[in-house]
Homo-oligomer: A and B are copies of this chain.
């Protein structure tokens, strides 16, 4: 439960808002690199942290991320021309580089010094791991570019996608740090008590604060002599890692041992783009296109699950996720198809910004409570004009998640050993 003013403080992300300023102290994903497949290809609209922007890949391959409106007369650059190392407004032909400098002003008989004085708002970009990153804060505070382990894994060992979610980023992200819910929402075989999550539905949670945020483990009893322990990291301010190394169902390795994660990038206060990524445990693990399609479809966001030309699910809030009440009665907990779609139903169904002043939290909500506390503390730090420690990307550089069966009489920390160290 939060005070209404703290709920507001955490939810609002526009320029000048406390949390908006916090998020602007970190590099954020602006779009997928593949949305700009070629040099000089069509520009795309980007709305991020409540700001309307345009992304374009120039003739050299560099990505510009600039104000959606020309500084001259505020015409929309979406209808402009991406050509010869710059974006050109269609209204009067003024042209700007990815840095926002004006390099042509053909409507003016004698542009003179005007050309140097007019600037297009432009944010720095950095392309890595299939994502175009940007930094929207004060330049003097700009951290070194993102260097998460998953960004270092070569393409064939990594996959990344994004999905549109119609609610505030925080209630979406809280779903990601809620280990308990998988025993319910994601129970897709009612009456079958074989799966571990069906056998132990109230996992024990341990949380440990770190420089980059926190890590937490959930422990489920797998047998009288063995526990299944899964580690998650919260990399501030809006990223998650989680272990996907061990198949929960059998013990031993699944055929594709990997680490998974999300970033919840706020479009604005009431909409979010969820970046979904995974990368192989080590060099032996390839994430082939076939596997990726299978994996995304399982999550409910495969190629056939999206409204063509968008990142929106066909099963969405407007159609009750095509819930099948008969299926819900007989086979699955929700009657909704797609693991992430099930999450969306719960998260979007709360409304655009959930009212946390009406909650009733319990012990299984520890990870969420801590996450909010860390965010509120960091917001305070930024409001005081200081920089949160976690803004230094070196602190999260070598973090990786893990999961494994651990003998009941052994500590997970000892058992995991080197598995928690980055291998890429």
Chain A residues packing against B (C-beta within 8 Å): 42, 69, 71-76, 78-79, 81, 89-93, 105-111, 114, 117-118, 174, 180-181, 183-185, 201-202, 204, 320-321, 323, 325, 328, 333-334, 336, 342, 345-346, 349-351, 354-356, 358-365
Task: Indicate which residue in B76, B93, B183, B363 contacts A349 across the interface (CB closer than 8 Å).
Answer: B76
Chain B: CB-nearest residue to A174:
B73
B residues less than 8 Å from A342 (CB atoms): 90
- Docked-complex contact A350 and B74, CB < 8 angstroms: yes
B residues less than 8 Å from A356 (CB atoms): 74
Chain B: CB-nearest residue to A342:
B90
Chain B: CB-nearest residue to A40:
B329
- Docked-complex contact B363 and A90, CB < 8 angstroms: no
- Docked-complex contact B71 and A359, CB < 8 angstroms: yes
Cβ distance A17 to chain B, nearest Cβ, rounded Å = 19
Q: Given A76-B350, A78-B349, A328-B81, A90–B362 Cβ distance below 8 Å?
A: no
Q: Given A106-B202, A107-B183, A325-B42, A79–B336 Cβ distance below 8 Å?
A: yes
Task: Indicate which residue in B92, B117, B351, B361 contacts A180 across the interface (CB closer than 8 Å).
Answer: B92
Chain B: CB-nearest residue to A88:
B184
- Docked-complex contact B76 and A346, CB < 8 angstroms: yes
B residues less than 8 Å from A81 (CB atoms): 328, 333
The interface centre, meaning the residue of A90, A114, A361, A364 with most chain B CB atoms within 10 A of its CB, is: A90
B residues less than 8 Å from A354 (CB atoms): 73-74
B residues less than 8 Å from A114 (CB atoms): 362
Task: Indicate which residue in B117, B118, B333, B350 contacts A90 across the interface (CB closer than 8 Å).
Answer: B333
- Docked-complex contact A184 and B107, CB < 8 angstroms: yes
Chain B: CB-nearest residue to A72:
B360
> CA separation between A184 and B92, bound complex, in Å?
6
B residues less than 8 Å from A349 (CB atoms): 75-76, 78-79
- Docked-complex contact A365 and B333, CB < 8 angstroms: no
B residues less than 8 Å from A204 (CB atoms): 109
Cβ distance A108 to chain B, nearest Cβ, rounded Å = 5
- Docked-complex contact B325 and A364, CB < 8 angstroms: no
Additional A-B contact list (10), CB under 8 Å, known A73-B350, A105-B362: A42-B325, A73-B354, A76-B350, A79-B346, A81-B328, A90-B184, A90-B346, A92-B180, A106-B201, A107-B202
> CA separation between A280 and B255, bound complex, in Å?
71
- Docked-complex contact B74 and A355, CB < 8 angstroms: yes
- What are 5 A-B residue pairs whose CB atoms fall within 8 Å in the complex? A75-B350, A78-B349, A93-B201, A105-B362, A107-B181
Task: Indicate which residue in B72, B90, B108 contacts A185 across the interface (CB closer than 8 Å).
Answer: B90
Chain B: CB-nearest residue to A67:
B358
Q: Given A42-B325, A93-B183, A359-B71, A79–B202 Cβ distance below 8 Å?
A: no
Cβ distance A262 to chain B, nearest Cβ, rounded Å = 18
- Docked-complex contact B79 and A323, CB < 8 angstroms: yes
The interface centre, meaning the residue of A42, A76, A354 with most chain B CB atoms within 10 A of its CB, is: A76
Cβ distance A184 to chain B, nearest Cβ, rounded Å = 4
Cβ distance A132 to chain B, nearest Cβ, rounded Å = 19
- Docked-complex contact B72 and A359, CB < 8 angstroms: yes
- Docked-complex contact A364 and B184, CB < 8 angstroms: no
Cβ distance A159 to chain B, nearest Cβ, rounded Å = 27
> CA separation between A184 and B107, bound complex, in Å?
9
Q: Given A91-B181, A346-B90, A350-B75, A108–B334 Cβ distance below 8 Å?
A: no
